[in-house]
Amino acid sequence: MFDFPPIEDVAALYDRLPPGTRVELLWILDPTSPLKPGDLGTVQFVGSIGTVFCRWDRGVEKSILWGMGEVRKIGNQE
């Protein structure tokens, strides 16, 4: 069963990953995804349940579901 993230965690994602933020994929549990750890992308937005929607440099637009993958901010972004 999918557990929704606490609202505080989603709010922290909104603050940490605003649209335009550059990110690196750390891991993803989707075996059908063309994405691999280390792929780079740009955040489009964070959804209301903590899903991070990204446009990836390899030309893929794919979201990372809460608990099914993780990204980290790259570079010296504010």
Does position 1 have pLDDT exceeding 60, yes or no?
Answer: no
Quote the CA–CA distance of 75 and 32 in Å, as a whole number.
28
| Residue 46: predicted pLDDT | 95
Does position 3 have pLDDT exceeding 80, yes or no?
Answer: no
Nearest partner of 17 among 75, 76, 71, judged by Cα: 71
Predicted confidence (pLDDT) per residue in 38-67, tens digit: 999 999 999 989 999 999 999 999 999 888
Assign domain 7-73 to a CATH class: mainly beta
Predicted confidence (pLDDT) per residue in 12-37, tens digit: 999 999 999 999 999 999 999 999 99
Specify burial of residue 50 (Cβ count, 10 A radius: 0-12, 13-18, 19+): buried
| Residue 52: predicted pLDDT | 96
- Which run of H or of E encompasses 12? helix 7-16
Quote the CA–CA distance of 64 and 71 in Å, as a whole number.
8
